[in-house]
């Protein structure tokens, strides 16, 4: 929990500094790149989380990977490294994106379904999420056959899991707990 609060504080500070320097959109692009790269690369996640690898090695690796990034983004990496919090970079990047979207009055909704959504269903979900958040919403559909059916909706920090797989897991836990 304390890491989440710290990540939000770092993200807000970076956003304020980026807005002040009229670079908020460029930094947002960098943060998306950072979040996606760390999310997709298990070796990078392990490097950042490893207590054995020295902070300077982590910092120089990140500077090489994100070499063309904005000065503010590289400054965030340096600040996290100097504060021994480089492992939080992924979370800070995600929080920055959320803060930036909130500032612009936009939101990104992620819907995971077992099969592609129809255009009609997409419109209904967009309308509901817009009503919930009061913001302009962009919808991204991810297909994951492991959820069997239903959907998982994630908007910002909120998640609603109405998947069949989740309901089956709940039933399984209830049965094993009652034995």
Q: Check whether residue 89 and residue 135 sit in a common domain.
A: no
**What CATH number should be reported for the domain holding residue 62?**
1.10.520.20
Domain that holds residue 93: 2-101
Q: Check whether residue 81 and residue 113 sit in a common domain.
A: no
Q: Check whether residue 143 and residue 59 sit in a common domain.
A: no
Confidence at residue 1, expressed as pLDDT on a 0 to 100 scale: 46
Confidence at residue 104, expressed as pLDDT on a 0 to 100 scale: 87
Confidence at residue 2, expressed as pLDDT on a 0 to 100 scale: 59
Nearest to 123, CA basis, from 131, 115, 133: 131
Q: Check whether residue 21 and residue 97 sit in a common domain.
A: yes
**SS3 of 66, please?**
coil
Average pLDDT on 147-160 reads 87
Torsion-angle region of 56 (φ positive above 0: left; ψ -120 to 50: alpha; else: beta): alpha
State yes or no: pLDDT of 130 exceeds 90: no
Contact 41, 31 (CB under 8 A): no
Helices (H), ranges, 83-133: 89-104, 119-133
Looking at the structure of the chain, the number of domains it has is 2
Q: Is the dihedral of CA 63, 69, 72, 73 positive or negative?
A: negative
Q: Check whether residue 130 and residue 83 sit in a common domain.
A: no
H/E stretch holding 161: strand 158-161
Q: Check whether residue 55 and residue 84 sit in a common domain.
A: yes
Q: Check whether residue 15 and residue 92 sit in a common domain.
A: yes
Q: Check whether residue 89 and residue 54 sit in a common domain.
A: yes
Average pLDDT on 29-52 reads 93
Residue 24 structure tokens: 């908020």
Contact 81, 56 (CB under 8 A): yes
């Amino acid at each position: 929990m304390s890491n989440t609060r710290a990540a939000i504080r770092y993200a807000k500070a970076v956003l304020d500094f980026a807005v002040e320097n009229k670079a908020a959109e460029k930094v947002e692009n960098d943060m998306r790149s950072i979040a996606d790269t760390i999310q997709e690369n298990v070796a990078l996640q392990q490097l950042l989380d490893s207590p054995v690898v020295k902070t300077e090695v982590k910092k120089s690796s990140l500077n090489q990977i994100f070499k063309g990034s904005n000065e503010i983004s590289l400054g965030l990496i340096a600040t996290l490294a100097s504060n021994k919090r480089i492992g939080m970079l992924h979370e800070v990047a995600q929080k920055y994106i959320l803060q930036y979207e909130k500032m612009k009055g936009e939101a990104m909704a992620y819907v995971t379904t077992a099969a592609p959504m129809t255009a009609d269903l997409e419109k209904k979900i967009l309308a509901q999420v817009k009503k919930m958040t009061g913001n302009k919403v962009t919808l991204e559909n991810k297909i994951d056959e492991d959820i069997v059916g239903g959907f998982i909706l994630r908007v910002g920090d909120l998640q609603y899991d109405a998947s069949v797989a989740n309901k089956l897991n709940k039933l399984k836990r209830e049965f094993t707990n009652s034995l």
